[in-house]
Amino acid sequence: MIPIVDDHCHLWFPPISEEVEEYIERNKKEGVIAIINNSSSIEQVKRSLEFKDSQGILFNAFGIHPIHALEARQEDLLFIEKNIDKAIAIGEVGLDYANLKEGEKEKQLELFEFFIRLSEKTQKPLIVHSRAAAREVVELLESSNARVVMHYFAGRKWLVKKILDHGWMLSIPTNIVKLQQLQDNVALAPMDQLLTETDAPWLSPYKDKYPNESRYIIETLRKIAEIKNLALEEVAEQIVRNFEETYKVKLER
Ligand SMILES: [Zn+2]
């Protein structure tokens, strides 16, 4: 079976949250060997801490999404810092300037800075969201020692080149099958800087299938194989190695 890794999904959003155990079981049967459940809020971090995965393929990323910056309290940040050893990465964090409310930009920057420092301190990879703020995000990260994974990056080509020049990782979502821009990013990137993700329940590669699922990453692997002119098995194996190196884990094949 082709091994699949998903370094960015959200199991605590419906409809997946209603059947998390079944989701993990079903996806494992289809070749999924690792899933990183990214948290968007402090509630989701707490839920992840309580959840026991019987399949042994689930990992945590702890963080607060920038759209929740205004709600984030100091004690939430301390809680995440205190429990960060239960996570293999920090995410989902970043900047989202799409629909800013009064005072939100400053709060988002403050929150993102906190997580950048936490990544520097722990050397855990930072899984980064950027919307309508690609340049600001790249500039902030450039002045840090954080180990960066750019989740679904839709910024301009010169920014993609910068990301790659810094040796950061590009995590490619399943909607690559529909988006030329993501296909261009893959063409630009060396194979050892690519990771695969769903952002499930969103970004399904299929028109008629919602929610998205980790196993659908097979479509991403096929697309990367086509763009790079490589065998599917070779692409899948390289992405698994990239995952292991980035997140410092050894996966069962
Ligand atoms: Zn996400």
User: CA–CA distance from 59 to each of 11, 52, 124, 145 (Å)?
Assistant: 11, 11, 13, 23
Look at residue 253 and tell me if it is in a domain: no
Return the pLDDT at 145: 95
CA of 10 to the centre of ligand 1 (A): 7
- Alpha-carbon span 207 to 210, nearest angstrom: 8
Look at residue 252 and tell me if it is in a domain: no
Length of the chain: 253
CA of 192 to the centre of ligand 1 (A): 22
Domain that holds residue 15: 4-247
- Alpha-carbon span 25 to 42, nearest angstrom: 26
The DSSP result for 57-91, as a single string, is -EEEEE---GGGGGG--HHHHHHHHHTGGG-SEEE
C-alpha 56: how far from chain center: 19
CA of 151 to the centre of ligand 1 (A): 8
Return the pLDDT at 253: 84
CA of 36 to the centre of ligand 1 (A): 11
pLDDT > 70: percent of the chain:
100
- Alpha-carbon span 7 to 46, nearest angstrom: 19
Question: Is pTM, for the whole model, over 0.75?
Answer: yes
Per the listing, tokens 């409310």 go with: 101
For residue 91, what are its two tokens? 């995410």
CA of 128 to the centre of ligand 1 (A): 9
Residue type, 95: L
Residue type, 244: E
Q: What is the CATH number of the domain that holds 210?
A: 3.20.20.140
Q: Cis peptide before 15, with omega less than 30 degrees from 0? A: yes
Per the listing, tokens 């300037």 go with: 97
CA of 32 to the centre of ligand 1 (A): 18
CA of 152 to the centre of ligand 1 (A): 8
Return the pLDDT at 114: 98
CA of 92 to the centre of ligand 1 (A): 6
Evaluate the CA torsion angle 195, 197, 90, 103 in order and state its sign: positive
| 222-249 burial: b if 16+ Cβ within 10 Å, else e | bbbbebbeeeeeebbebbbebbeebbee
Identify residues whose C-beta is under 5 A from ligand 1, the ion.
Answer: 92, 199
Look at residue 146 and tell me if it is in a domain: yes
Q: How confident is the model over 90-137, as pLDDT tens digits? A: 999 999 999 999 999 999 999 999 999 999 999 999 999 999 999 999
Look at residue 137 and tell me if it is in a domain: yes
Q: How many domains does the chain have?
A: 1
- Alpha-carbon span 6 to 42, nearest angstrom: 22
Return the pLDDT at 76: 98
CA of 30 to the centre of ligand 1 (A): 22
Look at residue 213 and tell me if it is in a domain: yes
Q: Tell me the pLDDT of the chain averaged across its residues.
A: 97
Output the tens digit of pLDDT for each of the chain's 253 residues.
999 999 999 999 999 999 999 999 999 999 999 999 999 999 999 999 999 999 999 999 999 999 999 999 999 999 999 999 999 999 999 999 999 999 999 999 999 999 999 999 999 999 999 999 999 999 999 999 999 999 999 999 999 999 999 999 999 999 999 999 999 999 999 999 999 999 999 999 999 899 999 999 999 999 999 999 999 999 999 999 999 999 999 998 8
Look at residue 119 and tell me if it is in a domain: yes
